[in-house]
């Protein structure tokens, strides 16, 4: 099967650049898949899970807080605000972030930025879900 070159760029620099078979990405209108010879496009990515299938049936899951996806027939570039593979996630930190966000939301304090707290909770839940995939494999 033909392959794609995936390049993931985060604020710190290039996180990875390697050949993959397929991707499942969190788009603004829902998840979408990218295969070799995909039509060229640029689209925003929302916070969510990225599934990466490598040659040899190996798969890795990554959490992202969103960004931009650029697709060409032979390559995909993801420019992401953050990107963590499941084995890189600090579960304690993610759990603490979840609890802080839940506490803010349940306080009903008028000073609380509700949208920001909801976003923080959503990101923490994604990170915890992705980290949990390690126990499933």
Is the per-residue pLDDT at 78 higher than 70?
A: yes
Mean pLDDT of 103-129: 89
Two structure tokens written together for 86: 């499941």
Count of domains observed in the chain: 2
Verify that 82 and 94 share a domain, yes or no: no
Reduce the DSSP state of residue 89 to 3 states and report it: coil
Q: What is the pTM of this model?
A: 0.87
Verify that 99 and 80 share a domain, yes or no: no
Reduce the DSSP state of residue 84 to 3 states and report it: strand
pLDDT single digits (tens) 1-38: 568 999 999 999 999 999 999 999 999 999 999 999 99
Verify that 131 and 67 share a domain, yes or no: no
pLDDT single digits (tens) 40-53: 999 999 999 999 99
Measured CA to CA, the distance from residue 50 to residue 65 in angstroms comes to 10
Measured CA to CA, the distance from residue 61 to residue 6 in angstroms comes to 14
Verify that 78 and 42 share a domain, yes or no: yes
Verify that 81 and 119 share a domain, yes or no: no
Measured CA to CA, the distance from residue 4 to residue 1 in angstroms comes to 10
């Amino acid at each position: 099967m033909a392959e794609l070159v995936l390049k993931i760029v985060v604020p710190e620099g290039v996180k990875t650049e390697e050949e993959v078979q397929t991707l499942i990405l969190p788009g603004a209108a829902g998840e979408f898949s990218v295969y070799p010879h995909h039509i060229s496009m640029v689209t925003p990515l929302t916070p969510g899970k990225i599934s990466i299938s490598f040659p040899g049936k190996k798969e890795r899951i990554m959490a992202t807080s969103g960004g931009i996806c650029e697709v060409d027939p032979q390559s995909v570039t993801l420019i992401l605000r953050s990107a963590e593979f499941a084995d890189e996630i600090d579960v304690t930190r993610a759990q603490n972030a979840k609890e802080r966000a839940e506490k803010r939301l349940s306080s009903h304090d008028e000073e609380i930025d509700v949208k920001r707290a909801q976003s923080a909770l959503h990101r923490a839940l994604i990170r915890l879900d992705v980290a949990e995939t390690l126990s499933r494999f």
